[in-house]
Amino acid sequence: MNYIQARDFFYFALFLSLPLKLILAGTLPLTGDEAYFVIWAQHPAAGYYDHPPLIGWLIHLCMYISGHEILVRLPSILASYVLVWGVYRILSDHDRTKALLAASTLLLTPVFLLGVLVTTDTALILSMFLSVLALHRAETRNSNLLYILSGILLGLAFLSKYFAALLLLAYIFYFLTGGLKKLPRLGLVLLGCLPLVAFNLYWNYTHCWVNIMFNFIGRGGDAEFSPMQPLILLGMLAWVVSPVLLVQLFRHRSQVLSRIRSSGHGLFAFAALVPLAVFFAASLFYSVGAHWILGFVPFLYVIYAALPGKSLILGRKFMLGYALLHIVLVAAALLVPLEIIKERPGLYRDAVFYLRPAQVAEKLDSYRADYYATPSYSRSAVISYYSSHYWGILGTGSRYGREDDRITDFRKLDGRDILFLSRDDELDKDRLSPYFEFLEPSRIQVRETSFAVALGRGFDYSSYQSQVLAQIKKRHYDIPDFLPLGRCFFHERYFQ
């Protein structure tokens, strides 16, 4: 394949991807996690409960333009094109045809072609990729400023998700293989990175260590050896990048490694393979999610360009078919009517709530109360986005999505009226009645299902504090002695 053909195919992939992304971003309702990050964006802060804050900041900037789903998902849409541009820029200095083939293959990879959902991984993938790109430029230009910039971008990755530490580990291995003379360059990267790490740690020190508690202490589950988990992870990796790409990389591994060394792209091999090796080792004892590996997958496409030309053409053809298959499957799933599952009432009710949230919100907007709540962060976040009110959480909730602990001060709701939306069509009065003078139950009908609603009159903060908030404190804010505590809003607000 010559350069003109590769260029035309790249333009085809580009013009295929953009309409698809905009259609999906504009028509799919926000997921619970996406709506939760919108709540972050609507309450700008230096940190949030579950993860560091970068994705909340990015969505906040986008929402200055509009709160539409497309703008909420704009970081995810743009991130995929930044990856494609970066892969092309890295490779084009050596071979523009191969650069276009690798960039086209990345663009058509289903997870990047159809993946418009905005998550903490969006900010992580973007900032880690830019960090490696800056470090690559620093190495080729011997620029101290670019080393520091790479560190700053790595720090921003740390402000996205703590998996950024695996990229730092890859950097350490990379610089150590270059001998002691390269270690000062690692020092420059750390100079850019560590202030942002310190910023997040200080915020945790003054906010109950919530990121540390959520990600490291409250994860739960004991290590259990399982030889099947690495095979499952390998299957997930094969699905993400396609089986053909993975097989071709393994088949031509000696040639690929030789070309990577000669082309000066060894950094990208470290950035991909060191974290993946850690995940495979961890998978022997813990379950590893497919989204965990996404931040390190884009570097494989730089390695992929080291394949022989015939393998690149084969990979391009297969990825086009692979992409079309996923497009058909997604389109078919979206066209299936909800009523096909109405014989399973619970599943149908959940599908109506999450796939037709605007219809649920419309039914609720006629109710008036001092505060609005559901039993879970996911439902509260979704209905908050599609309704005219902020919805918090009433009850203990789960270990996920506890930003409402900071937003809502239940002391101020004492004696107030609270509207509660149940996840079921029957109200659990025994759970709610201890916290109110009396309840006014009702139902809303949406499509062919119903949701139980209750207007709780006269909220009893004292009972709620002793029975619910005390449980939350024990489960989620019982900070270990080895963590020095600066301040904790939850302790100060309710128990001091």
Point out which residues pair with 131 in neighbouring strands.
none
Q: How confident is the model at residue 221 (pLDDT cuts 50, 70, 90)?
A: low
Q: How far is CA 121 from CA 27, 34, 249, in A?
A: 22, 12, 25
Average pLDDT estimate for 171-194: 94
Exposure b/e, 313-326, CB count within 10 A at least 16 = b: bebbebbbebbeeb
Determine if residue 185 is left, alpha or beta; phi over 0 gives left, psi from -120 to 50 gives alpha, anything else beta. alpha
DSSP class of 419: E
Q: What does the chain come to in residues?
A: 496
pLDDT at 219: 66
DSSP string for 182-238: GHHHHHHHHHHHHHHHHHHHHHHHTTTTHHHIIIIIS--------THHHHHHHHHHH
Strand order across the 436-446 sheet: 391-393, 371-374, 418-421, 449-459, 436-446
DSSP class of 142: T
pLDDT at 223: 76
Indicate whether 222 pLDDT > 80.
no
Q: How confident is the model at residue 34 (pLDDT cuts 50, 70, 90)?
A: very high
Tokens at 459, concatenated: 């909220």
Q: How confident is the model at residue 180 (pLDDT cuts 50, 70, 90)?
A: confident
Range with the lowest mean pLDDT among 91-95, 260-264, 354-358? 260-264
Sign of the Cα pseudo-torsion (297, 303, 307, 310, in order): positive
What would the pLDDT profile of 266-291 be if each residue is shown by its tens digit?
999 999 999 999 999 999 998 898 89
Residues whose CB is less than 8 angstroms from the CB of residue 353 and which lie 6 or more positions away in sequence, other chains included: 360, 379, 382, 423, 446, 451
Q: How confident is the model at residue 220 (pLDDT cuts 50, 70, 90)?
A: low
DSSP string for 427-469: --HHHHGGGEEEEEEEEEEETTEEEEEEEEEEE-HHHHIIIII
Average pLDDT, the chain: 95
Residue found under tokens 């409960």 = 49
What would the pLDDT profile of 398-448 be if each residue is shown by its tens digit?
999 999 999 999 999 999 999 999 999 899 898 999 999 999 999 999 999
What would the pLDDT profile of 101-154 be if each residue is shown by its tens digit?
999 999 999 999 999 999 999 999 999 999 999 999 999 999 999 999 999 999
pLDDT at 218: 73
Q: How confident is the model at residue 68 (pLDDT cuts 50, 70, 90)?
A: very high
Q: What percent of the chain has pLDDT over 70?
A: 99
Indicate whether 261 pLDDT > 90.
no
DSSP class of 374: E
pLDDT at 182: 87
- What are the two backbone dihedrals, phi and then psi, of residue 22, each rounded to the nearest 5 degrees? -65, -40
Q: How confident is the model at residue 179 (pLDDT cuts 50, 70, 90)?
A: confident
Q: Where are the domains of the chain?
A: 3-333, 347-494
Average pLDDT estimate for 294-323: 93
Tokens at 424, concatenated: 């079921």
